[in-house]
Structure formats: C-alpha cells, structure tokens
C-alpha cells in the first residue's frame, strides 16, 4: 500500500487556517459529508441511505 504525505512549509499556520475554516461553518462540513455518503451509496434520501447501508451490513 502506498501512502502519500502532504508537506506544508508552515504546517502550524496551515493547520490553524484549516481548523478555522472548518470550524467557521460546521454545518456546511456535516452537509458535505452527508452528500458524499449519499453519492457513495447512490441514494437520494436519508431513508434510502439507511436501507442501503443496512443491506451492506454497515449498520
């Protein structure tokens, strides 16, 4: 398995800015994650997501 490493010159500053960006709108982060889950499961609703995940043994 190959692992990629991101090297950032000023890592503490980068992490600080990244953290601030994520925390600035946590609802947006949750919505983004839910959209990605729906896309991966190829569904369009929460109910469909629950059904598909249970069929796959993920719940």
Render pLDDT for 7-47 as a digit per residue (tens, 0 to 9): 656 667 777 787 787 777 777 788 888 899 999 999 999 89
Here the tokens at position 2 are 């190959």
Here the tokens at position 21 are 């960006």
Q: Please, where are the H alpha helices in 1-59?
A: 11-24, 26-41, 46-55
* Predicted pLDDT at 32: 86
Quote the pTM value.
Answer: 0.53
Instruction: Name the residue among 54, 52, 57 with its Cα closest to residue 41.
Output: 52
* Predicted pLDDT at 2: 64
* Predicted pLDDT at 43: 94
Here the tokens at position 29 are 């982060």
Radius of gyration of the chain (CA): 17
């Amino acid at each position: 398995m190959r692992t990629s490493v991101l090297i950032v010159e000023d890592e503490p500053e980068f992490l600080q800015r990244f953290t601030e960006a994520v925390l600035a709108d946590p609802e947006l982060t949750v919505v983004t994650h839910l959209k990605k889950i729906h896309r991966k499961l190829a569904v369009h609703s929460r109910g469909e997501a629950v059904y598909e995940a249970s069929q796959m043994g993920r719940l």
